[in-house]
Amino acid sequence: MKKIGLIGGLSWQSTVEYYRVINEESNRRLGGLDTVECILYSVNLATKLGRMARGEEKQLGEEFLGIGQKLVGAGADMVLLCTNTMHAVYNVLADGLPVPVIHIADATADAIKKQGLTKVALLGTPFTMTQPFYKERLKKLHGIDVITPTEEQGEEIYRVINEELTFHILKEESRRYFLGVIDELRAKGAQGAILGCTEIPLLIQQEHTDLPVFDTTVLHATAAVDAAME
């Protein structure tokens, strides 16, 4: 089996979920006490978000590439960037590393296409929702159209992510707000909703809505297990 390299800490709360899913899913398939092996490098979230906010993508890419190289040097056969937002610098890692880098949007798109959907809502950080690196990949590579919340809604979503979910604070009023946004986007034609920040699935699960939701954390982690066991 192949070893999985994880770049996490973005936030550590969702990275815990990556680690859990990878171990539970690989053990479910392998049985007994077996799991796939993984190597985790956890970063300082504040530093990386600060670079993103200041538009320092070149430096951000170089830092993540350096981390990816360390994971490969430690034996990783693939790398996962455990965050949606930081996939803004995905190409730097994919071009600079000698091992596959599994894109979170590709893993999510595979699940969307299996349900036959072509237009989905995207909830995430303002970077993910407004910049082209995520939406254009879904459209150009997978034929999936994306609609996003208003700027005001995006600001409230980001506040909840940073002030609540990053610290595993789960408030019912925040859940209702997110579900209200999802319902508005459904009225605009969304056939499903991407939970496009790896913290959002801590708050919103499929049981909370009858609209299909796509947990990017679980889908990304499961794609890594698939690749590790090929």
Catalytic residues: 83, 197
HEC string of 144-207 equals CEEECCCHHHHHHHHHHHHHCHHHCCCCHHHHHHHHHHHHHHHHCCCCCEEECCCCHHHCCCHH
Q: Quote the CA–CA distance of 203 and 111 in Å, as a whole number.
A: 20
Q: Quote the CA–CA distance of 158 and 143 in Å, as a whole number.
A: 27
65, two tokens: 């590439």
Nearest to 5 by CA among 40, 33, 53, 31: 40
Length of the chain in residues, anyone?
230
Q: Quote the CA–CA distance of 160 and 227 in Å, as a whole number.
A: 33
The DSSP code for 101 is B
- Compute CA 225 distance to the chain's CA centroid, rounded to the nearest angstrom: 15
